[in-house]
A = this chain, B = another copy of it.
Amino acid sequence: MRIIVCGMGVVGQSFLKLLLASYTTLYKNYGIKPRVVACVDSKGITYSPTGLDLKKVLAIKEKSGSLLEYAGYKLNSRNYIEEIDAEVFLELTPTNLSNAEPGLSHIISALRSKKNVITVNKGPLALSFSSLIELADYNNVMFRFSGTVGGGTPVLEFAKHCLKGDKITSFTGILNGTTNYILTRMSDGLPFDEALRDAKEKGYAEANPSLDIEGDDAAAKLVIMANWIMGYKVTLRDVDKTGITNINPDEFSRAASSGKSIKLIAKCDKKELYVKPIPISKDDPIYVNGTLNAVTFRSEHSGEQTIIGKGAGGMETASSILRDLIEIKQNMTNYQLN
């Protein structure tokens, strides 16, 4: 199975490490012999049709080097996506919720050249979900994105595979770990600015935290879930979104007096699609603290189910890419049988 890895940040590097660690199991349990034929970072690309030495790639990246050091060549066009022969293209560049680039163009090129695509990049899905699914169908390839929601927690798989014969009618969740950490600290009495500073110090918030604290990251995940799980056709613009920057500290004490606390809640049902800070009972299964994420699904017959896990992390997210890779392999085998 020939793989192109585009994006060499924490998740890309974790994925290479996971491949190295899982090589034997992947072959034994799933018949997969992964061969990474190209790695791409912001400066250039390194390529070998017989498979790159992943340890060498990792050693270069760990000392913050450019892939050009590994007999690479500079990127002068996006044609490499179409020109390189591979079964799977991994799009792991950073999320951009303004115009989804460069991820969107990468994914379109890969699907058009009949490559199966796995991404953890929320931008292209939040802005162009339906057209990407259609493009994948049209080209008869698979498009998977488990890592976009929940990091390593299989939220999308749970909804798709674990409730067969039933119908999910709505879901409610805490979909962003950074804001959940900040709100947990604020619930302890810290003002917003101090809680944010603490989150930055612990590495939970980025230097520019606006995507998280304005609710955009949670809204992007909500859009992906609404499309994939509920079959809606919505984009980021359809979400009624409020961030956590303007919460009055009094709201925490008012909530506490009735056994609740403020959480940034994403909700999807027939009538509503929103992200906003609201009081949640401490007895509610989705009431989780720290950087945890949680989602409750409501379905017609099997009642309510909640799934809780860390919503981020390099190795955790890499494990979701591996799951997608295994699913693609298993479906490819079925395609061949039929």
A interface, CB within 8 angstroms of B: 18, 22, 25-26, 29-30, 152-154, 157-158, 161-167, 283, 285, 288-290, 292, 294, 299, 301-310, 313, 315-316, 318-320, 322-323, 325-327, 337-338
A-side interface mostly: mixed
Contacts of A325 in B (CB 8 A): 165
Indicate which residue in B294, B319, B337 contacts A165 across the interface (CB closer than 8 Å).
B319
Contact status B166-A319, CB under 8 Å: yes
Q: B302 near A316 (CB under 8 angstroms)? A: yes
In the complex, besides A154-B305, A166-B323, A305-B309, 10 extra interface pairs with C-beta distance below 8 angstroms are A22-B165, A26-B165, A154-B158, A162-B162, A301-B318, A301-B319, A302-B309, A302-B320, A306-B309, A337-B338
Whether A165 and B323, one on each chain, are in contact in the complex, defined by CB atoms closer than 8 angstroms, is: yes
Task: A18 to B301: give the CA distance in the assembly, Å.
Answer: 8
Most chain-B CB neighbours within 10 Å: which of A22, A318, A327? A22
What number of copies of this chain does the assembly contain? 2
For residue A313, which residues in chain B have a CB less than 8 angstroms away from its CB? 303
CA distance in complex: A289, B282 (Å): 10
Name the CB-closest residue of B to A297.
B309
Q: Could you name 10 residue pairs across A and B whose Cβ atoms are closer than 8 Å? A: A153-B303, A163-B323, A165-B323, A301-B319, A303-B316, A304-B310, A305-B307, A305-B309, A306-B309, A337-B337
**Smallest Cβ-Cβ distance to A292: which chain B residue:** B285
Q: Which residues of B contact A309 (CB under 8 A)?
A: 302-306
A307 and B307 in contact, given A163-B154, A165-B319, A323-B164 (Cβ under 8 angstroms): yes
A57 to chain B minimum Cβ distance, whole angstroms, is 19
A22 to B164, CA, bound (A): 12
Task: Tell me, in angstroms, the Cα distance from A318 to B283 when the chains sit together.
Answer: 27
Q: How distant is the Cα of A238 from the Cα of B149 in the complex, in angstroms?
A: 39
Q: Are B152 and A302 in contact (CB under 8 A)?
A: yes
Nearest-CB residue, chain B, relative to A152? B302
- Contact across chains for B165 and A301 when beta carbons are under 8 A apart: no
A166 to B164, CA, bound (A): 23
Asked if A164 meets B302 with Cβ closer than 8 Å, knowing A158-B158, A285-B288, A289-B283, the reply is no
Residues from chain B with Cβ under 8 Å of A285 in the complex: 288, 292, 294, 308
Q: Which residues of B contact A320 (CB under 8 A)?
A: 302
Beta-carbon nearest neighbor of A166 in chain B: B319
